[in-house]
Amino acid sequence: MSAPASSSSSLSTTNIMLAIFEKKTAAVDLYRPVRSYIAFHYSEREAQNLEDDLQALRDLRSDLENPAKQPSPTARRDVLQSYFRALCVVETRFPISPDRDHINAVTFTWHDAFKQKLKASQQNIHLEKAAVLFNLGAVYSQIGLSYDRSTVEGRRLAVQAFIGAAGAFAYLRDNAAAKASMGSSTTVDVSIECAGMLERLMLAQAQECVFENTIAKGSTPGVCAKISRQVGLYYEEAWAALNVAPLNQHFDKGWISHVQLKAALFYAEACYRYGLELHEKEEIADEIARLRSGVSTLSEAKKSTKGAPPQLLDAINKLEANINRNLDRAVKENDRVYLMRIPSPSSLPPLPSFSMVKPMPMNEVLDASKEKMFASLVPDSSAKALSRYTEMVDDIIRTQAEKLQQGSELTRVRLKDMDLPDSILALEGHFTLPVDLKEDVEAVQISGGPAGLDAELQQLRDLRRVNQELLVQTEELLQKEAREDAQFRGQFGTRWTRPQSSTLTKNLQDRLNRFAGNLKQAAESDARIERSVKDHAALMSILDCRPIESALPSLARPIMSLDANEDAVVGALKQSLRQLETLGAQRAGLEDMLKEMKRKDDILPKLMASTGSQEDLFKKEVSKYDPICEDIAQNIEAQEQLLFQIQAQNDQFSSLFNLEDYKASREKCYKQIQAAIAKYREIKENINEGLKFYVTLQDAITNVKQQCSDFVMTRNIQCREMMEDVQRNMAGLSFQDKNAGGYNNSYPAVGHQPQRPNSTDSQTVSRPPHSQTPPYQPAEQTSMTGYGYHPPSYGSAPQPPPPYQVPAQHGAPYPPHQQQQPPPVSHEYGQPAYPGWRGPYYNAHAQQHGSLPRPPYTVQPPYPPSHQGGYYRPQ
């Protein structure tokens, strides 16, 4: 399969673009009329003080009249921007009009930029401002055309210049064209239609520069097609404006032909580039349709245009040749391989487009608020009067805004009382939950929902099993050491003077027994959780519905109907709701209109020029807000009537569809969901408490296991030493020196804790750190003869409480048994099963003395009586 042609197409021949010529003007002397106005209305001294400003204004106007003074387009651009800001200052201080009290000796004359013989003259500043903005856009276009677009930097600068031109023409269209067109005479070039057309044209040329850059960078055909299509769209919009009044009789044929051919060229370019992408995807039928559409557009454009530049025609012919070559190749491949049906051009979707440019915002560039020219001519009286007028307008805006807000709030409350539009949505199958309830359900589903509880219960089982295995391993360590000690004691009889294991490991055995009791209570609590999950599975199953709205009851149509008017009732109610929504949108629009009118309400020129009563001027100016205020009043009244109508229609709808029963079932479903959420959270909290308990208990058992390992290791070392002594004794050696020390008092009980007076708190028992001397030090580590060395006992010195120690709390729900005082218990090993839990699932009833059976893995001594109301409250 041959590769399609992918040349640069029209790149080398589309450099032709358009620049706008500036408007010509007649000379105007602003210096003397403005100075005379200042001297007459203010004072001669004020006129003298403003001499520099007057001279600057005259110089700017002179530079505007003589473009040769600034041959550089950028210099003319700066002059135009400065002069426009000066005009804004003049407009707010010096009224220019034919009125006797105004500056009436100034007439601005401007020639049409496209038909030099046409001109307009006005005795107001609006034509002057519009002409300056037009020339600013024209200069920007000339700057864009001056750059070398064969380089990346040149194309980038050209883009900036063309979007600057578009911004100037857009500002002309939005701010000055309408006022200039209301004068006694005007020209088409500063009309709203012409300014809009020129904005589109400049955007088209800016986007065209972007397209040239895109081709130069080697972007993908799809990207090139989108950008090219947008170029064509901008040209098409400009061409459409050129073909309607008042522009269709104002521009030369060459202009119109250029824009039309450019629109066709870039549409065909987009088809060509899009065809390359379709060919890569092997969508041959669409490729053929697109290429045929591009060729057809080019052919029609060439037939309907005359007098086009040869350079542009060359570009069209080159592109047409490339398209035809790819079209022939695609048709052959389709006939031989793909055999696809070619869609008609009308069935094709619009080509995708993407705009990379927009008009440059000119508000900051042309903002005159920071200009210091004639700043001293704003009198305090005028400023105070303007402030008073502003307060009047603000009061109107505030009052009307409150009415609009009250109307919207009334609608919201009334609709909520009627359960609208929720009941209509429910009838159509669109169910909704209250926001807070939906958020709770989503939180439950994100955390795993009821379906995820089984995995968490399995975690509880695994942790309980791990703790039980650790406990068994620890017991086996002590049992093994005790069996070995009993074996040697039976073998050597009275010669084996070492203390029995049971006398040394009593405290360790007590702790292990308490751990076993805690584990038993934990198993019972886990069983209660599992029962709760099983018992409430049906209740919580609603939380696994996705979406949760599928669990809500539906509002069904009545099974039997006498007159079969359900559709009519529903349709009328929907229509009324749509009308109510329209009224709400109108209120929003009215509020925006008020704010926009206030934003544009600048009466300073009128205020400074007025010689009559300021109050009369204020009343006249404020009256322009009356139409909007009347519209607001009518909107509120229409809404009230519509709400009464909706109330009657909703009563009929509610009776026909038995809405009360539906609401009751829906509320019941809401309560079921709430109950399921509460039960899920309760079980989830229980499981979390259980997980924390097992982790804490595992640390405690591991600590005790380490102590038992140290104990067994020390006993093994001492066992070897005693066997050597006994063997030497049996061989006739004397051990009197060593017997003086003896073993009877060398090994205090493991975990022995001296009694502290007036202390009822449990003592912390922990294994000494490895860096300290082991509790059972081997004989070779002491300098004493015999075995009279007294090693430190477990728990002989209080240790810092471990991180999971829980202090005893007063008022516990399960007080300790008072018949027998248990031995001191380390908080480290009597850690509560579920610290701080007060729920029903981990509230084991207090066990009586001797009620716990001996675990199968426990040796002497038996379990001590349980004195806690559950494994989570150790004593």
Please tell me the predicted confidence (pLDDT) of residue 335: 86
Q: pLDDT tens digit string along 21-60?
A: 999 999 999 999 999 998 988 889 989 999 999 999 999 9
Please tell me the predicted confidence (pLDDT) of residue 95: 85
Task: Give the Cα separation of 725 and 735 in Å (integer).
Answer: 8
Please give the full DSSP string across 493-554, using - where no structure is assigned: GGG--SPPHHHHSHHHHHHHHHHHHHHHHHHHHHHHHHHHHHHTHHHHGGGG-SSGGGGSPP
Q: Which of 264-273, 341-350, 430-439 has the lowest mean pLDDT?
A: 430-439
| Residues paired with residue 119 on neighbouring β-strands, in sequence order | 111
Does residue 379 have a cis bond before it (omega within 30 degrees)? no
Query: What is the gyration radius of the CA atoms in the chain, in angstroms?
Result: 48
Residue 817 has pLDDT above 80, yes or no: no
CB-CB contact of 717 with 483 (8 Å): no
For residue 122, the SS3 value is strand
Q: How far is CA 233 from CA 192, 355, 622, in A?
A: 20, 10, 44
Name, in order, each residue with C-beta under 8 angstroms of 522's C-beta and a sequence gap of 6 or more.
464, 690, 693, 694, 697, 833, 871
Please tell me the predicted confidence (pLDDT) of residue 311: 83
Report the interhelical angle of 73-93 vs 51-65 (nearest 10°): 130
CB-CB contact of 385 with 607 (8 Å): yes
Residue 759 has pLDDT above 90, yes or no: no
Q: Provide the CA 700 distance to its chain's centre, in angstroms.
A: 46
Name, in order, each residue with C-beta under 8 angstroms of 762's C-beta and a sequence gap of 6 or more.
808, 824, 825, 826, 827, 830, 874, 875
What band does 868 get if pLDDT is binned at 50, 70 and 90? very low
CB atoms < 10 A from the CB of 490, how many? 9
Q: Which of 175, 176, 181, 147 is nearest to 161 (CA)?
A: 147
What band does 64 get if pLDDT is binned at 50, 70 and 90? very high
Please tell me the predicted confidence (pLDDT) of residue 554: 62
What band does 18 get if pLDDT is binned at 50, 70 and 90? very high
For residue 120, the SS3 value is strand
Name, in order, each residue with C-beta under 8 angstroms of 451's C-beta and a sequence gap of 6 or more.
544
Please tell me the predicted confidence (pLDDT) of residue 826: 38
Please tell me the predicted confidence (pLDDT) of residue 340: 86
CB-CB contact of 130 with 176 (8 Å): yes
Within 13 Å of residue 7, how many CA atoms lie on the same side as its CB?
15
Q: What's the rounded mean pLDDT across residues 842-869?
A: 37
Q: What's the rounded mean pLDDT across residues 433-445?
A: 80
Please tell me the predicted confidence (pLDDT) of residue 606: 61
Q: pLDDT tens digit string along 686-726?
A: 999 999 999 999 999 999 999 999 999 998 998 988 888 88
CB-CB contact of 867 with 875 (8 Å): yes
Q: Which of 253-257, 527-531, 743-747 has the lowest mean pLDDT?
A: 743-747
Name, in order, each residue with C-beta under 8 angstroms of 489's C-beta and a sequence gap of 6 or more.
496, 500
Secondary structure element (H or E) that encloses residue 108, with its range: strand 108-111
Task: Give the Cα separation of 341 and 389 in Å (integer).
Answer: 72
Q: Cα dihedral sign for 160, 164, 166, 167?
A: positive
Please tell me the predicted confidence (pLDDT) of residue 118: 93
Residue 264 has pLDDT above 80, yes or no: yes
Residue 846 has pLDDT above 90, yes or no: no
Please tell me the predicted confidence (pLDDT) of residue 605: 56
Please tell me the predicted confidence (pLDDT) of residue 823: 41
Task: Give the Cα separation of 54 and 39 in Å (integer).
Answer: 12
Residue 782 has pLDDT above 50, yes or no: no
Q: For residue 547, which amino acid is it?
A: P
Q: pLDDT tens digit string along 446-497?
A: 888 888 888 888 999 999 999 999 999 999 999 998 998 888 888 888 888 8
Q: How far is CA 544 from CA 426, 513, 533, 626, in A?
A: 21, 42, 14, 58
Please tell me the predicted confidence (pLDDT) of residue 488: 87
Q: For residue 168, which amino acid is it?
A: A
Q: What's the rounded mean pLDDT across residues 797-814?
A: 36
Q: Which of 265, 217, 275 is nearest to 4 (CA)?
A: 275
Residue 327 has pLDDT above 80, yes or no: yes
Task: Give the Cα separation of 27 and 64 in Å (integer).
Answer: 9
In this predicted model, which residue has the larger pLDDT, 754 or 133? 133
Please give the full DSSP string across 604-668, using - where no structure is assigned: HHHHHH--S-HHHHHHHHHGGGHHHHHHHHHHHHHHHHHHHHHHHHHHHHHHHTTHHHHHHHHHH
Name, in order, each residue with C-beta under 8 angstroms of 571's C-beta and a sequence gap of 6 or more.
none
In this predicted model, which residue has the larger pLDDT, 191 or 869? 191
Please tell me the predicted confidence (pLDDT) of residue 438: 80
**Residue 527 backbone dihedrals phi, psi, to 5 degrees:** -65, -40
Task: Give the Cα separation of 218 and 215 in Å (integer).
Answer: 5
CB atoms < 10 A from the CB of 229, how many? 24
Residue 800 has pLDDT above 50, yes or no: no
What band does 94 get if pLDDT is binned at 50, 70 and 90? confident
Please tell me the predicted confidence (pLDDT) of residue 130: 95
Please tell me the predicted confidence (pLDDT) of residue 619: 87
Distance in angstroms between the alpha carbons of the first and the last residue of the chain: 88
Q: pLDDT tens digit string along 575-592?
A: 888 898 899 889 889 888
- Residue 765, burial from CB neighbour count under 10 angstroms (0-12, 13-18, 19+): buried
In this predicted model, which residue has the larger pLDDT, 795 or 33? 33
Residue 768 has pLDDT above 80, yes or no: no
Q: What's the rounded mean pLDDT across residues 328-339?
A: 88
Q: What's the rounded mean pLDDT across residues 758-767?
A: 34
Q: Which of 114-128, 234-248, 441-455 has the lowest mean pLDDT?
A: 441-455
Q: What's the rounded mean pLDDT across residues 795-814?
A: 36
Q: What's the rounded mean pLDDT across residues 816-835?
A: 38
Q: How far is CA 774 from CA 84, 293, 424, 790, 794, in A?
A: 95, 94, 80, 12, 10
For residue 283, the SS3 value is coil
CB atoms < 10 A from the CB of 801, how many? 14
CB-CB contact of 95 with 382 (8 Å): no
Task: Give the Cα separation of 296 and 318 in Å (integer).
Answer: 15
Please tell me the predicted confidence (pLDDT) of residue 128: 94
Q: For residue 710, which amino acid is it?
A: D
In this predicted model, which residue has the larger pLDDT, 814 or 598? 598
Please tell me the predicted confidence (pLDDT) of residue 752: 40
In this predicted model, which residue has the larger pLDDT, 741 or 539? 539
What band does 821 get if pLDDT is binned at 50, 70 and 90? very low
Please tell me the predicted confidence (pLDDT) of residue 745: 39
Residue 595 has pLDDT above 80, yes or no: yes
Q: Provide the CA 539 distance to its chain's centre, in angstroms.
A: 35
Q: Which of 144-148, 390-394, 754-758 has the lowest mean pLDDT?
A: 754-758
Residue 171 has pLDDT above 60, yes or no: yes
Please tell me the predicted confidence (pLDDT) of residue 557: 63
